Chains A and B, each alone.
Chain A
Amino acid sequence: MRRRGSGRRRTDRAPTTCGGGVEVHKIVAKDRIAPGFNRYVVEAPEIARKHRPGQFVMVLIHEHSERIPLTIAASDPAAGTITLVVQEVGKTTMEMAKREVGESFLAVVGPLGTATHIDKFGTVVCIGGGAGIAPLLPIAGGLKKAGNKVLSILGGRSADLVILRDEMAAASDEMFYTTDDGSFGRKGLVTHALADLIAERGNPDFVVAIGPAVMMKAVAELTRPLAIPTLCSLNSIMIDGTGMCGGCRVTVGDEAKFVCVDGPEFDAHKVDFDLLIKRLRTYLPEEQAARERYLTDHACRAIDGGNRG
């Protein structure tokens, strides 16, 4: 059942300084699934009910934080929750990691973006790299449910960064792993595993690749000459996530597209990844400065606390 009692909404009201009426979203479960990766199960009954694979939410931790887009890794309409897997990469995601069960996020808005077109394609290869494995999970599940044979290739820098292996295995017929350092699976990149797979078994009918932009670009370059339809999911810079700022624009074919409303998924063969990679670096100096400031502040506080303790 959907939980949407007006009583709950009223008691959970956010501080009025925020214009009021924002529904706070409580963290009901949290676990650390890998170094730097946290999984949150968050109360968001209406989003859970509407979520389709491929869609994302905009999250605002508190009134002064950034709005960040996070792809939904799973949803449970019965429990009224969605699952988010977040890698600590900058100030906002590190601050998010400090939120514990029982605490809340100020805003979780969605589900945004268009849903993945799930169909029966035949044999599908699902490729996930790093944090991209989380959004891949519901898509792989959807594809398997639709009757596809799902072969999944997961990659990461080292063994402990190849996340959600069991969950992905449950959504796949066969699993392949790669790591940069060879600590798990084959040493190398996901594209090496994909090339071998194609050499051994011929072209799959469909490829889904979600991960760092360089990874998706490499997959697209491999499958383009083979004319294997390939879908990617882009995670560009966004503010509102509803089509208003245009900060997320990418070139797809010859057209400017907004990742938030036209995507986040696009035909990987048509995406201008070089442009995307450049645009992702827009606020790199600011992001690095904020991260260092946060780490310094946090370290100082830890020392203070130790002295007092």
Chain B
Amino acid sequence: MADDAHGLPELPKAQRMKIPRHGMPEQEPAERVHNFSEVALGYTAALAMEEAQRCLQCEKPLCVQGCPVEIDIPGFIDLVRQGDFKGAVGRIKETNTLPAICGRVCPQEEQCEIVCVLTKKYTPVAIGRLERYVADLERASGHVDMPVCAPPTGHRVAIVGSGPAGLTCAADLARLGHSVTIFEALHKTGGVLVYGIPEFRLPKEIVDYEVENLKRMGVEVRAGYVVGKTATLHELFHEQGFDAIFLGTGAGLPTFLGIPGENLIGVLSANEFLTRVNLMRAYDPGHNDTPVRVGKRVAVVGSGNVAMDCLRCAKRLGAQEVICVYRRTRNESPARKEELERAEEEFIDFRWLSAPLEIYGNAEGFVTGMRIQRMELGEPDASGRRRPVPVTGSEYDIEVDTVIIAIGQGPNPLATRATPGLELNRHGCIVVNKETMESSIPGVFAGGDIVTGAATVILAMGAGKQAARGIHDWLGRLGRGEVSKPVLESEPA
């Protein structure tokens, strides 16, 4: 670890403001569309310290308020400036367990960086890139300071789902001295971090490494275990002896369009496509058995971050033409600007104001084309965005071999279906107390996409942290005999 890096001096504020924001070296588009290696290559020590020098060290830092897990941002950045990278990562880890992941996938431009005072006149400090830098450096050094865990409390907590919410909740509870077991339905831990986000945005070794660290803290992991099927919540409480349960089962239920031709061969949900490519590593067919086929022309319907991942994976799998079909305009696209720009650099054909009407196929049932209708923007709708309205007579057909539907995911229904008495909202999301994250069943807590619907990694982590506080409080009351574990009716399998 470059602890001995010479730090940079604290410059007068006027001078700091004049330093331009430092870009991060990345693979060239023409090169990267042929591989699944990470696109962004990360800062060097010099770039990191120079970027850190830009921070004005505000007395009332707005960036901290913008961070869902309240990282001491000016504090860690000042340590980076001084060249104390180990100290910097330690500061981050006081509140954020997964900095290498957040540094990559957090939408900093909507959270900490958007409120940076430099944003008004200049460009914000690249907080995410600095976070990523110090976390990567620590991982590369092989010397990780494990957080000190409180003495064992004797309480046992079951975490259901090993995505960002579950991992964060597990880490915080382990630190508080509770005995934590994570149950993961898939054979590999990480949830959306491994099945959804592609290797070129978040290398899987980083997720594996973070899970290994949790295990070193004493967290037990049981993968290939489907809560709701292998065991019910009642059994977790009363047969396996858990004192509290956290449900972080995520938004994994695919949404389809409901247009003709959607069941043709070659029409996939974004989940199916990304799971094949990421979790099952179909991009490396020499070593992995799960197939994926994209053909020459691929259309992805939708324009969120998941759609961007699908577009960019399809390009890397060798599709010649990759088309994004979205019914609104670039301005309404829910994807992060950075992801959108990278997709644009990677030769994706964006068809804004285009709605799919029908998917066509041949006699064998394979997709051959899609009918698209041009749209125009009308009055604002409930989301505040201008509603797309069809332009009559504007329909046209495109030839495609694959259609990927990336228009959002619903909450995973398995655990909730198997738990009668758990209050859900009309979308099927778990209803919780916003302070404690406790569900309608005492001792059962929830957080992440299963509560909010599909959102971001960092919001799920924030919810996991909040739930950990709620669970810690519940365990205290349980220990004092003020509450007792719930008796749940069990659903026949």
Q: Which positions in A face B, CB cutoff 8 Å?
A: 9, 16-23, 46-47, 50, 52, 55, 60, 64-67, 91-92, 106-112, 114-115, 239-240, 242-247, 249, 251, 256, 261, 275, 278-279, 281-283, 286-287, 290
Is B265 in contact with A91, judged by CB distance below 8 angstroms? no
Is B224 in contact with A287, judged by CB distance below 8 angstroms? no
Is B263 in contact with A249, judged by CB distance below 8 angstroms? yes
> B60 at interface (Cβ–Cβ under 8 A)?
no
Separation of A18 and B290 alpha carbons in the complex (Å): 16
Q: Which positions in B face A, CB cutoff 8 Å?
A: 182, 184-190, 194-195, 207-208, 211-212, 215, 220-226, 229-231, 252-254, 256, 262-263, 265-266, 268-269, 271-272, 275-276, 279-281, 287-291, 293, 364-365, 412-414, 492-493
Task: Select from chain A the residue with minimum beta-carbon distance to B249.
Answer: A242
Which residues of A lie under 8 Å from residue B224 when comparing CB positions? 22-23, 60, 107-109
Task: Select from chain A the residue with minimum beta-carbon distance to B363.
Answer: A278
Is B222 in contact with A244, judged by CB distance below 8 angstroms? no
Separation of A65 and B291 alpha carbons in the complex (Å): 10
Main SS class of interface, A: mixed
* Smallest CB-CB A-B distances: 8 pairs: A21-B221, A278-B365, A245-B272, A286-B291, A244-B252, A107-B187, A19-B188, A107-B224
Given A19-B194, A239-B272, A245-B272, 11 extra CB contacts under 8 A: A18-B187, A18-B223, A20-B211, A21-B221, A22-B188, A22-B224, A50-B229, A109-B224, A111-B493, A240-B275, A251-B263
Given contacts A21-B189, A21-B220, A21-B223, contact A242 B265 (CB under 8 A): no
Separation of A67 and B188 alpha carbons in the complex (Å): 12
Is A115 in contact with B493, judged by CB distance below 8 angstroms? yes
From the candidates B221, B223, B226, name the one contacting A242 in the complex (CB within 8 A).
B226
Is B222 in contact with A21, judged by CB distance below 8 angstroms? yes
From the candidates B195, B211, B229, B253, name the one contacting A112 in the complex (CB within 8 A).
B229
Q: How far is the CB of A78 from chain B (nearest CB, A)?
A: 17
Which residues of B lie under 8 Å from residue A110 when comparing CB positions? 226, 229-230
Task: Select from chain B the residue with minimum beta-carbon distance to A272.
Answer: B263
From the candidates B222, B279, B414, name the one contacting A243 in the complex (CB within 8 A).
B414
Is A245 in contact with B185, judged by CB distance below 8 angstroms? no
Task: Select from chain A the residue with minimum beta-carbon distance to B262.
Answer: A256
From the candidates A65, A109, A256, name the one contacting B226 in the complex (CB within 8 A).
A109
Which residues of A lie under 8 Å from residue B252 when comparing CB positions? 240, 242-244
Is B291 in contact with A64, judged by CB distance below 8 angstroms? no
Report 28 cross-chain contacts, Cβ distance below 8 Å, ordered by A residue: A16-B212, A19-B188, A19-B190, A20-B189, A20-B215, A21-B184, A21-B189, A21-B220, A22-B187, A23-B225, A46-B225, A50-B493, A109-B187, A109-B226, A239-B290, A240-B252, A240-B275, A242-B185, A243-B253, A243-B414, A244-B254, A245-B269, A245-B272, A246-B269, A247-B268, A251-B263, A256-B263, A290-B289
Is A67 in contact with B364, judged by CB distance below 8 angstroms? no
From the candidates A67, A245, A287, name the one contacting B271 in the complex (CB within 8 A).
A245
Given contacts A245-B269, A278-B265, A286-B291, contact A19 B189 (CB under 8 A): yes
Is A92 in contact with B275, judged by CB distance below 8 angstroms? no
Which residues of B lie under 8 Å from residue A17 when comparing CB positions? 208
Is A244 in contact with B223, judged by CB distance below 8 angstroms? no
Task: Select from chain B the residue with minimum beta-carbon distance to A24.
Answer: B224
Separation of A278 and B363 alpha carbons in the complex (Å): 10
Is A275 in contact with B187, judged by CB distance below 8 angstroms? no
Which residues of B lie under 8 Å from residue A279 when comparing CB positions? 263, 265, 365
Given contacts A19-B189, A20-B189, A279-B263, contact A239 B291 (CB under 8 A): no
Most A-side CB within 10 Å, residue of B229, B288, B290: B229
Is A66 in contact with B265, judged by CB distance below 8 angstroms? no
Task: Select from chain A the residue with minimum beta-carbon distance to B186.
Answer: A240
Which residues of B lie under 8 Å from residue A19 when comparing CB positions? 184, 187-190, 194, 207-208, 211, 221, 223
